Structure 1
């Protein structure tokens, strides 16, 4: 009998594949990041057993605890996707495979300095504030190229792409415009020689719009894990 986790994962993957096909894209070019923040390690193990390998966390202490608790799953791919304070970068630098929310040079510099020498370079994305909301983290679109220039020069980081969190709206046209802005920024950076291959955008409610505008990694939490418990603190 197929269990809940396998069925849920298959349903989300089917949504992603259908969205890619509708956009005349190869479904294999769109990855799935399971956003496991606030959910127990047992759920991660269950999705792992169903075939999921990439998991995203937002809070440093929770991230650190889960990395330790799941150390026996050697091929887990850990993505840190939340905002980082400069005094909390060390454990992320030591354990993450990806960091999605680089929005200040000081954070990138600390991650590079604290990345253990025996590990490969840390994959990073620059977070861009495509909605212009004052409450949102992220570099302004017009400042992205300058930040990318500095981040790409850091020795222990591998600048892979861009990330965004659009404004919460049901207006599909507004979402499309914000996702397309990130897509165009990627194209502009690649024209400058950066060879970015990742657009981290799209969540449970808007993944189809994101995929239509070039997303290569969608961050799915609620549609996989269910309603989120009370937020944990970092």
Structure 2
């Protein structure tokens, strides 16, 4: 039976990938609501990873929200790319090793001290190196921001370095795909065509990404074998929507 699923993502291409793979996992054509970014793309929280983090921080009573929205939401999937943990100071502001007098009083994205005054260090020594450490840190940051008493219907996914890694995993036989930095630039958009598909440089075309998303879904089993983040999402969707234990 199809479900109603709310998606909080960095942008429209991530949204396409998540919809495609969740339908693949569940074997259903589900109904999706884009909770973030808002449809006019100029909404309250903004776009990208900051918009995702703000949404988690400022959305109160998320479990009440799931019941209040009509049709009632069965699950929420929240996505943020792992490259954020690799590159951005703000995401490390709340780490134990960051000695900051503003910690706990100012939400990192609303702090104006991120230049020379910011004590946060990237990479952060509090976390395990590599994609596993990045995923765990991203999951913890968003879960902390949510402040939800019940996470049983919420899945957080941190693709490393981005959802582009899942695209590469669907098309190419490469080892350690989630350790590649910026796979869009270094692999997918390195030439004008990627596996016969026209790619327009740094710009991610939604129509092109619809093709990529379908291939990710079609080869989802292979993607989960190559990407730990994909395997974790697969397990979470099955737990929430299919009542399967890990």
TM-score after normalising by structure 2? 0.29
- Greater strand content: 1
Which structure has the larger Rg?
A: 2
TM-score after normalising by structure 1? 0.30
